[in-house]
Structure 1
């Protein structure tokens, strides 16, 4: 695998440790990564998203959604069923775990299961103090005054 050197990016950024870890894990890949269950990530409107997973055959009680340290994990495990005799078995009911890394300030606002689709709604809520603001030139806020003692 070709290594990508991201050191130029890190020379001009401070405090993006989580971002660096995300990039490292994305480039490393996951050998055990499965395409099951298939999913969509949708932009509903500005700062509102939805993740839809196709979980046909799973009941609500067989699905688990957790959020820890910015990682949304969706897991499914079928309850033990009586052994069936299939002539053809094409519907996957295998256990799964799918993880999504969420950006800062992205919160889960709800989840629903309908017609075999699990929809998880997300919203990005950036605090007012972190939103961009205009700094007026000549304003007294954040101005550093120099005393004449330190001037040469």
Structure 2
């Protein structure tokens, strides 16, 4: 028996892109840094919170690229006159990718107590019923 995938199942027409999206998400290379939460704040809104202690507003960039929310962090190497006896606070760059479904919009981003909050809203899809006339051929 042949294995059916989303892109080859006869009743799922036009879902080939969804299969590629799942593969892309699996290969996105998101490691565990920085840690994050995703919470549902209402029926049609979400909040992503990243722990970005040590990063300032200017060290962070938030973009939407090809239906993905991309959050990048890069701290400036301001090491003048600093001698670390122990350095346990990470100062590395990062990139977090979150794939967005159609109809999900990125709202505001707020930095608060070392946490970056990014709000998302999902618009309810319209219920469309369309009658198709049958033409005699």
Query: Aligning the two structures, in what range does the TM-score lie when normalised by the shorter sequence?
Result: 0.7 to 0.9
- Select the structure that is richer in helix: 1
- Segments of structure 2 that go 5 or more residues without pairing to the other structure are none
Pairwise CA distance, 1:91: 1.0
1:1-152 superposed matches below 5 A: 6=5, 10-27=9-26, 29-30=27-28, 32-83=29-80, 84-126=82-124, 130-132=125-127, 142=131, 144=133
User: Which stretches of structure 1, 4 residues or longer, exceed 6 Å deviation after superposition?
Assistant: none
Pairwise CA distance, 1:34: 1.7
TM-score using structure 1 length? 0.76
- Segments of structure 1 that go 5 or more residues without pairing to the other structure are 136-140
C-alpha offsets along residues 124-149 of structure 1, whole Å, 9 cap, x if unaligned? Answer: 013xxx4235x6xxxxx7263666xx
Pairwise CA distance, 1:18: 2.7
Q: Cα–Cα, structure 1 residues 86 and 22, in superposed 2: closer, same or farther, change >3 Å?
A: same
Q: Distance in 2 between matches of 1:11 and 1:52?
A: 39
Greater radius of gyration (CA): 1
Q: Cα–Cα, structure 1 residues 47 and 93, in superposed 2: closer, same or farther, change >3 Å?
A: same
TM-score using structure 2 length? 0.83
